[in-house]
Chains A and B, each alone.
Chain A
Amino acid sequence: MYGPWKDLGVQVWAVASNEERSTVQNFADQLGLDLPVLLDEDGAVWARYVEAGAFPTAPYPQEWLIGSDGVVTYYANQLEIDAVEAAIEAELAEP
């Protein structure tokens, strides 16, 4: 589903935090997910990103775009396709 972004050279990862591998595996199979689904079973990565996040009343979803230099260029509490695409284009346009 994120094909066009992958073609542009963007790594697209989904992270499942605080859930068991089998639950996530079933979920991914049922939906036929075709992107890497990273397992953060003890929620350690989630905790570090939540500290940096900005929306306390609605923790999920969290969408982060990390630029080529490792710096966060976009963050949102819901998936806004237009905004993410604009951020990706800005990122790829940089020399």
Chain B
Amino acid sequence: MRLPSIATRHRRRVRSSLVLVLLAGGCRYQPADPGTAPGTGDSGIPSDTGPPTGTSVPTRYALPATCVVADNGVPALVRRGADAHNTPPQFMELVDVELDGDVAWAAGQGGYIPVDVRDPAAPRVLFLDGNFISRLHRVESVRPGLLAGSNRDEGLTLLDVNDPAAPVIVGVARGTGWEGLAAVGDLLYVSSREEGLLVFDVADAAHPRELAAVPGLPSTWELVATDDGWLYAADNDLGIVPVDLADPTAPVVGAPVAMPGATYHVAVQDGYVYAAVGGDGVVVLDRSDPARPVPVAQVTTGGTVVMVAISGRWLYAADHEGVQVVDVSDPAHPVPWSHVETDMFALAVAADDTLAYVGDWGVFETWELDPDRRAPSLSVPSTSLTRVAGVARAAVTNRGAGTLTFSGAVASDGSVVEVGATSLESGEETWLEVGGSGPIEVCLASSDPVSPTLTLKVDDGGDPPVGIVAPDFTLEDLDGTVRRLADHVGDPVFITFFATW
């Protein structure tokens, strides 16, 4: 299994490292390096983002010591409405969203949740029953009135949703490790970690019939079908795997295309495949030869991309921190358009042109894009910086379509704040540096519409505790096993402290 990489986040609150560890893609974590275009790395995938290479003398600019809030207008992507199901309060834990006409089906710990989305300003949860709990991972609309849901512990559930406010389970198929779903006519393709690709005939929803089980997909999180007889699997281990459906009941698994990191989701539009690759962002593949898709572009988002949705010119990536919009009118040259943060964990997104429906963990949200608005999006890996050898340094990226300009910065101790560039075009990256000592705050003013001024906390690192005897402890784990550190003298022990928030 691929080892995860991580992009640590500390934006408005401290985030869970373990979630990022498990969801982030890639075996290699590369700290942001000025002068290196994001997206070009070991994978060799061409990227249009990033500053021009080849400059030999690094330039430095001292920012004017001023931090004035400016009215930078609104971002290109704005939240229109939300429903957190507070009446009565019930936490939803959303991990997938599927659009079906006027209803968006959200899925997760809370079960199958229909949301009326006719009014973007007022999405409304139609049904949420605590007794209807099913730990879903994917939902897929099979045909009008029939919804399918996959559950890693239980298998497949088919629901009659002719009345979306009153879904009724009509058919089930039992299995474990089932996740990806794609419907083609009366056939439903399901990816199973143990058995591979399963083919079900669901013409009679009450009696789903398994027609075939084809091995070759060890860890597939999602399947997507095309109009021309192909299926693409987002396999966490293998990458993007094409599947030939020339004979729909006898799929043929083709040669996988390795991705730069762990692959979590996939979408298809016309001649291109879009892969969600965790910390490595979104990879665009050209499927002119459907059996051999070729990576042609990559866009990182600063977050961990776990789902992508595509509608016409716009790609929306849910990257755990929020949503990244990318203009893919020329898919081989994607342009970052806007990045916005959501309140919780944006793990799911579905889209219809300029409307995006986001599963933000406990909240269902509707966001709307202004396609004519070119605004910058300031992005930093963390707002907490630690000095190394007396200097704190942060990578700063523009993930929006408009120009990002820095107008000034004030450090609370009067230290000078320097940057490698005073303005960034879409996708470009530079660095920010400040010295000083002890805990200080830096106010950074820019043309970003969401954070016209941004506060960075800077402090010294202490002496790393290497060489000390690790404090012994005895704790019980979730399985009830008692674990004592001192019992494991003789083996290395790797401990990660994490939070679920």
**A and B part of one assembly:** yes
Where the two chains meet, the residues of A that have a C-beta atom closer than 8 Å to any C-beta of B are: 1-5, 9-19, 21, 23-33, 36-40, 44-46, 48-49, 52-75, 77-82, 84, 88, 91-92
Contact B462–A45 (Cβ < 8 Å): no
Interface centre among B462, B465, B483 (most CB of A within 10 A): B465
B18 within 8 A of A: yes
B40 within 8 A of A: no
B129 contacts A by Cβ under 8 Å = no
Q: What size tier do the contact residues of chain B reach?
A: 35 or more
CB pair B469 A11 closer than 8 Å: no
B466–A75 touching, CB < 8 Å? yes
- CB pair B5–A59 under 8 Å, yes or no, is no
A73 vs B494: C-alpha distance in the bound complex, in angstroms?
A: 10
Closest to A25 in B: B478
Partner of A38, one of B10, B27, B483: B483
With A68-B489, A81-B3, A84-B494 given, is the CB distance from A74 to B478 under 8 Å?
Answer: no
A-B residue pairs in contact (CB < 8 Å), sample of 25: A5-B494, A10-B491, A12-B496, A13-B493, A19-B499, A25-B478, A27-B500, A28-B478, A30-B109, A31-B18, A38-B483, A49-B497, A52-B468, A57-B459, A60-B15, A60-B499, A61-B497, A63-B496, A65-B494, A66-B493, A68-B489, A70-B469, A70-B489, A79-B17, A79-B29
Residues in chain A near residue B19, CB distance under 8 A = 31
Indicate if the CB atoms of B471 and A48 lie closer than 8 Å. yes
**Smallest distance from the beta carbon of B243 to chain A beta carbons, Å?**
24
| B265 at interface, CB cutoff 8 A | no
Chain B residues within an 8 Å CB radius of A58 = 8, 10, 14, 382, 384, 386
Chain B: interface secondary structure?
loop
Q: Given the complex, which residues of B lie within 8 Å of A74, measured CB to CB?
A: 466
Known: A24-B478, A33-B18. 15 other contacts (CB 8 A): A3-B1, A11-B491, A12-B493, A19-B499, A28-B478, A44-B473, A46-B497, A49-B471, A61-B21, A63-B494, A70-B486, A72-B466, A72-B468, A73-B492, A77-B8
Give chain A residues whose Cβ lies under 8 Å from the Cβ of B29: 79-82
- In the complex, the 10 A-B pairs of residues with the closest C-beta atoms, listed nearest first: A61-B17, A54-B462, A38-B475, A27-B500, A58-B384, A78-B8, A62-B497, A52-B465, A11-B493, A36-B477
Q: How far is the CA of A54 from the CA of B388 in the complex (A)?
A: 12
Smallest Cβ-Cβ distance to A40: which chain B residue: B475
The smallest beta-carbon distance between B138 and chain A, in angstroms, is 14
Q: Are A4 and B492 in contact (CB under 8 A)?
A: no
Q: Would you give the shortest CB distance from B380 to chain A, in whole angstroms?
A: 13
Q: How far is the CA of A3 from the CA of B1 in the complex (A)?
A: 7
Could you tell me which residues of chain B, from 1 to 46, have a CB within 8 Å of some CB in chain A?
1, 3-6, 8, 10, 14-23, 27-29
Contact in complex: B488, A81 (CB < 8 Å) = no
- State which of B20, B382, B485 has its C-beta within 8 Å of the C-beta of A66: B485
A72:B467 contact, CB within 8 angstroms: yes
Q: Which residues of B contact A (CB under 8 A)?
A: 1, 3-6, 8, 10, 14-23, 27-29, 93, 95, 108-109, 135, 152, 382, 384-386, 439, 457-459, 461-473, 475-479, 481, 483, 485-486, 488-500
Q: How far is the CB of B42 from chain A (nearest CB, A)?
A: 12
CB distance from B415 to the nearest CB of A (A): 16
Question: Of the candidates A13, A17, A57, A73, which one forms a contact with B384 in the assembled complex, judged by CB atoms under 8 Å apart?
Answer: A57
Collect the chain B residues with CB atoms within 8 Å of residue A82's CB: 28-29
Check A1/B457 contact, CB under 8 A, given A10-B491, A62-B497: no
Cβ contact of B8, chosen from A13, A17, A44, A61, cutoff 8 A: A61
Cβ B498 vs Cβ A73 within 8 A = no
The minimal Cβ–Cβ distance linking B351 to chain A, given in whole angstroms, is: 24
Closest A residue to B8 using CB positions: A78
Knowing A23-B500, A71-B469, A80-B29, the reply to whether A39 touches B1 (Cβ < 8 A) is no
| C-alpha spacing A52/B472, complex, angstroms | 13
Complex CA gap A44/B475 in Å reads 10
Residue of B nearest to A15 (CB): B497
What's the minimum C-beta distance from A70 to chain B, rounded to whole angstroms? 5
A39 touches B6 (CB 8 A): no
- Whether A60 touches B497, Cβ cut-off 8 Å, given contacts A49-B471, A68-B492, is yes
State the CA gap A30–B500 with chains docked (Å): 11
* Contact between A13 and B494, CB atoms less than 8 A apart: yes
Once bound together, how far apart are the Cα atoms of A65 and B464, in whole Å?
A: 12
Q: Whole-angstrom distance between the alpha carbons of A61 and B498 in the complex?
A: 6
Q: What residues of B have a CB within 8 angstroms of the CB of A91 in the complex?
A: 492
Which residues of the partner chain A approach B494 to less than 8 Å between Cβ atoms?
2, 5, 10-13, 63-66, 84, 88
**Beyond A14-B498, A55-B461, A71-B470, is A92–B93 a contact (Cβ under 8 Å)?**
no
B495 near A63 with CB under 8 A, answer yes
Most chain A beta-carbon contacts within 10 A, residue among B1, B93, B459, B470: B470
* A48 touches which of B439, B473, B495 (Cβ 8 Å): B473
Cα distance A21–B477 when bound, in Å? 9
- Distance in Å from the Cβ of A29 to the closest Cβ of chain B? 7
* A54 near B464: Cβ-Cβ < 8 Å: yes
Q: Is the CB of A38 within 8 A of B476?
A: yes
CA distance A63 to B494 in the complex (A): 7
| Contact call A62/B496, Cβ cutoff below 8 A | yes
Smallest CB-CB separation from B497: which chain A residue?
A62
Is B21's CB under 8 angstroms from A79's CB? yes
Q: Is A31 touching B22 in the complex (CB atoms < 8 A)?
A: yes
Contact between chains at A52 and B471 (CB < 8 Å): yes
CA distance A64 to B23 in the complex (A): 20
